[in-house]
Amino acid sequence: MSSERREQVIKAWVEGSYLHFKPDGTYEVSILGSEPETLYWQLSPNDTTLLVRKTQEEDPKEIEIELLTKKDLVIILPDTDGEYTRLYFKADGELEASDGSN
């Protein structure tokens, strides 16, 4: 898939999707307008990894954090083909996506 097409697919996927991180260690996620789901999150001790899980009992999935400020969160999601997708979250709820070629 070309990087342009890949970016179009990613943008379509995130349209109407959101993450809402709460101070109690939960976050709400809705993908493509689906019913919101509440999951669990925490930061690694050095703030470079986002640890997420569906239940408090399961082992967390690690997501690399490229940037974390009061207004921005940039995470990197690996793809199965060795590429990656970089997701940009803004404090106001905006989301941008970029494939690994940018």
Task: Give mean pLDDT, residues 38-63.
Answer: 94
| Residue with the two structure tokens 């993908």 | 31
pLDDT above 80: residue 6:
no
pLDDT above 50: residue 43:
yes
Among 2-6, 60-64, 96-100, the least confident range = 96-100
Rounded Cα distance between 50 and 64, Å, is 6
In the chain, what percentage of residues exceed pLDDT 70?
Answer: 80
Segment holding 10, helix H or strand E? helix 3-14
Rounded Cα distance between 39 and 56, Å, is 9
CA 42 distance to own-chain centroid: 13
Q: What is the pTM of this model?
A: 0.69
Contacts of 23-32 spanning 24+ positions with Cβ under 8 A: 27/52
